[in-house]
Amino acid sequence: MGSLPAWLLRREVLLLAGATLLGAGGAAAWYLLQATVLTIAVAPRDGTEPELIKAYADALDSGRESVRLKILPFDDVRESAAALQDGRADLAVVRPDVLLPTNGLTVAILRDQALIIASPEQTGIGSFPKLAGKRLGIAAHRDADLWLLRNILGYHGLTLEEAGGPARDSTVLLVPVDQEAVAGAFREKRIDAFVSIIAPSAPKALALVGTVQGLARGGKVAFVAVEDDDAIIERFPRLQAVTIPGGLFGGRPKLPADDVKTVGASYRLMARASLSRVVVADVTRQLFEKRTAAAQGTVAAEYVQAPAYDTTVAATSARVPIHPGALDYYEREQHGFIERYGDTLYLLGALAGGLVSVLAWIRQRLASLRRERIDEIIDRLLEIAGQARALRDPAAIEALTREVDALAMDVVRYTRERAPDPPVLSAASVAIDTARATVADCRTRADAAGARIGQSVRLHGSGGI
């Protein structure tokens, strides 16, 4: 049987192999326990969301949390939603009424927007029919805002016109107006009402209503309510019903005097449906726990909220469903350490067990190889002892002598390098002594026989003379 190289069977090599395996296991454990870095698609570039997500990312970095964010910016929410859809991002800022990814589930509401149409009460515009033939001012807006406004007006039998010229019956003329110029536009009769799709409590919304209030007699402002909000949501399911609470814009006089029902859209943080619920639960937790830190960088953090739902079934079966991981946080069913990292711990345990088994096998195998080699030497020594008894040829006996010496040297080397078991070493020592003694006896007998033959030859030679 062939033997492994001597250096491979050294104790130092075995220890080095074990240390290498344990180091590999430690490296694997370190990798598995590193922070999870998630790519988040953020838009619109000129909105509040980029600043908001950046504030959260900075808070996570400074806190050395288990989840970190890698920001992927886009100009428009349609592009950020597409990035989630095609797998370029794990999370994304999405406006469902613009584009709802088929693989996206809601984590949180970043910003709710409401359709607010306001005018001084003396204009008499208190409902959608009263908007017919009127001029509606609008500040900076996006295409999605126009889509929302056009559909709501269309539901009420009105057509939105963006071209210049006088408004006609059943049409509403949209007039672009800078927010700073709203008061002048009302005074100059360039607009009859003003529309904005905005978070009702946002500073810009408060300033807008305050401007209109300053132009109204007695400070009374008329708001156009969406009375059939349930029917409109059924018609346009990616919109949402919004209620502007009475008194939101002021208390003396109370403005609005009563709750105003309207509709709106939301900017949502959405996650891939396939993203681990444990990871999403952690993202959701950090989103709210880091709100104070994020608010130091942007006031937009104050508007982050949980999506409304009645039951878990309703939340996961809604038209815009909530991610199960986010529900784990909202319902306080987050997993503990063992539940969260159970798979990792099991993997590490299995890996450690495997390493121990491999090391034990290597040790056993090397011990077996050492024993096998010494067994081979002992067997050969016993064979030599048997062969020597039948030999008479001095040259053959000398060859066996050299072989015994060589085998004895092998035993010495193995003893120094691998420390065989004492019983095995004793057996090898006895075999060496036996083989040497047997060979020596054979040499003695061979020498005696040679001497007798030589004497006989000499006697026969002298008798012949």
Q: Is the pLDDT of residue 369 over 60?
A: no
Model pLDDT, residue 167: 61
Model confidence at 442, in pLDDT bands (50, 70, 90)? confident
Determine the average pLDDT of the residues in 422-427. Answer: 76
Model confidence at 83, in pLDDT bands (50, 70, 90)? very high
Model pLDDT, residue 263: 93
**Picking from 250-259, 320-329, 344-353, which range would have the lowest pLDDT averaged per residue?**
344-353
Q: Is the pLDDT of residue 18 over 80?
A: no
Model confidence at 465, in pLDDT bands (50, 70, 90)? very low
Model pLDDT, residue 170: 85
Determine the average pLDDT of the residues in 413-438. Answer: 75
Model confidence at 400, in pLDDT bands (50, 70, 90)? confident
Write out pLDDT tens, residues 223-237. 999 988 889 988 998
Model pLDDT, residue 458: 58
Model pLDDT, residue 394: 77
Of the two residues 440 and 215, the one the predictor is more confident about is: 215
Q: Is the pLDDT of residue 198 over 60?
A: yes
Model pLDDT, residue 337: 46
Q: Is the pLDDT of residue 371 over 50?
A: yes
Model pLDDT, residue 428: 76
Model pLDDT, residue 372: 67
Q: Is the pLDDT of residue 64 over 50?
A: yes
Q: Is the pLDDT of residue 88 over 70?
A: yes
Which of 314-323, 330-339, 351-360: highest mean pLDDT? 314-323
Of the two residues 310 and 276, the one the predictor is more confident about is: 276
pTM for the structure as a whole: 0.65
Write out pLDDT tens, residues 278-323. 899 999 999 999 999 999 889 899 999 999 888 877 777 778 899 9
Write out pLDDT tens, residues 147-196. 899 999 999 999 999 866 666 778 999 999 998 899 999 999 999 999 99
Q: What is the mean pLDDT of the chain?
A: 82
Of the two residues 217 and 381, the one the predictor is more confident about is: 217
Using a pLDDT cut of 90, give the percent of the chain over it. 42
Model confidence at 258, in pLDDT bands (50, 70, 90)? very high
Write down the domain spans for the chain: 104-335, 343-463
Q: Residue 110 is inside which H or E element, if any?
A: strand 104-120
Write out pLDDT tens, residues 95-153. 999 999 999 999 999 998 999 999 999 999 999 999 999 999 998 777 788 889 999 99
Model confidence at 1, in pLDDT bands (50, 70, 90)? very low
CATH of 104-335, one of 3.40.640.10, 3.40.190.10, 3.30.70.100, 2.60.40.10: 3.40.190.10
